[in-house]
């Protein structure tokens, strides 16, 4: 599963100089100004991932002005970055004590509660944040996540009660794994294995977590170790083959899937994955055979129709490709890829009107699909519909010109940690 990004907000403060008419007010203004300077410097350190330095600055701000709500909030954010959730909770509570209507502090407090599996408290805080600021989209996202994760956590705990033999650390690791906290899950599963190296559940999920994190060498090593103890573990064999494919080791993947099918000849997933491995290696005839066997075994396996259509298209078997993608659309009428690929196949057969209809459906289903738009523009051009072609080409050019800014934003938003720090002005 993919890693979840959680919004917690870091506040950057600005304040002009106060009047110098009164000595007492000037002194208070100077303290406030100094506290804000420490706070803003801390915010800069956080955004550079210099968390220890940031904590020092936020603490200095609070020392100068103990009721500085923004500094307490930001110190809580920094503690969250270090997974010190108890300390973070204390700081968010201090921020709220100084400013009960501080919506972002309530939202951040909910985030910290959620990371301690205190879901009822988290939901209450996110709701308070939304009551104060109904337009806070981050608070709405966090509320939805808290509700979802509460459900997962309760199901996990119920499973633990039924299966008392499962190590508590494996339950914790699984919960972290499903929430996208992969580093924490790895640590949990390793701790279980330190106590019991033969714990198969922890071993398997540690391998899955390695694979999910892209640590394929570690996943392959662990899967091999598991199979020496349990050679008939089908799930691990499938995952080992997939890890091989992820590394580009097609021969090893093919061997793994072929061996699996010797003992489990009707395993549709193994047939499908073997077809993928053959296709990756350029063995399209063999890939088509395996994909067709998969469909015969499980006609509702929608993924295989897409892959089989790709193989037929690359082989130049356009009629077979068209037939295959039509079957996919019967299973999944909203498949953008099916409409797009059908459009390509029709275009290769010079069936321009059909190609135009399918590519328009692809664009309508996925307006951001630049490849579909480009091919739609090309088909318009072939039909002599120049105005329509120019309009589509312009949309592709505009999308391409906006890509650098989009990538820049994604770089800012996709943090390595589970928390996302947003500096607001």
Per residue in 222-236, pLDDT (tens digit) is: 999 999 988 888 888
Say whether pLDDT at 242 is over 70.
Answer: yes
Please give the pLDDT value at position 4: 35
The arithmetic mean of pLDDT across residues 112-121, rounded, is 90
Please give the pLDDT value at position 160: 56
The arithmetic mean of pLDDT across residues 133-140, rounded, is 86
CA distances from 39 to 74, 111, 157, 420 (A): 8, 21, 41, 18
Q: Give CA–CA dist 239/224, Å, rounded.
A: 10
| Gyration radius (Cα) of the chain, Å | 28
pLDDT tens-digit profile of 149-190?
Answer: 787 677 666 665 555 567 777 878 887 888 788 898 899 899
Query: Which pTM was predicted?
Result: 0.56
* Chain centroid, CA 182 distance in Å: 11
Nearest Cα neighbor of 68 from 39, 104, 101 is 39
Domains of the chain (ranges; CATH) run 6-137 (1.25.40.10), 324-401 (1.25.40.10)
């Amino acid at each position: 599963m993919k890693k979840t990004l959680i919004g917690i907000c870091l506040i950057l403060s600005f304040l002009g100089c106060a009047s110098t008419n009164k000595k007492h007010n000037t002194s208070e203004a100077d303290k406030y100004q100094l506290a804000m300077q420490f706070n803003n410097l801390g915010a800069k350190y956080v955004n550079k991932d210099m968390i220890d330095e940031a904590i020092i600055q936020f603490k200095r701000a609070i020392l100068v002005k103990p009721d500085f709500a923004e500094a307490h909030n930001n110190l809580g954010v920094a503690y969250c970055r270090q997974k010190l959730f108890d300390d973070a909770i204390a700081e968010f509570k201090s921020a709220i004590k100084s400013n009960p209507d501080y919506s972002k502090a309530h939202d951040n407090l909910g985030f910290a509660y959620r990371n301690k599996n205190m879901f009822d408290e988290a939901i209450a805080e996110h709701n308070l944040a939304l009551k104060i600021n109904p337009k806070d989209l981050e608070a709405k996202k966090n509320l939805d996540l808290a509700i979802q994760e509460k459900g997962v956590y309760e199901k996990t705990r119920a499973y633990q009660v039924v299966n008392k033999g499962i190590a508590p650390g494996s339950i914790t690791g699984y919960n972290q794994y499903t929430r996208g906290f992969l580093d924490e899950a790895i640590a949990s599963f390793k701790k279980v294995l330190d106590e019991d190296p033969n714990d198969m559940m922890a071993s398997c999920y540690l391998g899955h977590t390695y694979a999910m994190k892209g640590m394929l060498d570690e996943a392959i090593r662990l899967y091999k170790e598991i199979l020496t103890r349990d050679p008939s573990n089908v799930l691990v064999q499938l995952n080992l083959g997939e890890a091989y494919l992820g590394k580009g080791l097609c021969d090893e993947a093919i061997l793994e899937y072929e061996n699996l099918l010797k003992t489990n000849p009707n395993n549709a997933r193994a047939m499908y994955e073997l077809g993928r491995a053959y296709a990756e290696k350029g063995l399209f005839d063999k890939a088509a055979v395996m994909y067709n066997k998969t469909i015969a075994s499980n006609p509702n396996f929608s993924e295989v129709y897409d892959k089989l259509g790709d193989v037929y298209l690359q082989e130049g078997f356009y009629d077979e490709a068209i037939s295959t993608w039509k079957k996919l659309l019967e299973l999944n009428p909203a498949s953008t890829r099916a409409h797009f690929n059908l459009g390509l196949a029709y275009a290769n057969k010079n069936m321009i009107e059909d190609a135009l209809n399918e590519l328009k459906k692809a664009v309508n289903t996925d307006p951001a699909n630049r490849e579909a738009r480009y091919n739609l523009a090309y088909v318009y051009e072939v039909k002599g519909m120049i105005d329509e072609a120019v309009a589509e080409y312009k949309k592709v050019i505009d999308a391409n010109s906006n890509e650098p800014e989009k990538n820049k934003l994604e770089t800012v938003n996709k943090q390595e940690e589970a928390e996302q720090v947003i500096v607001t002005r």
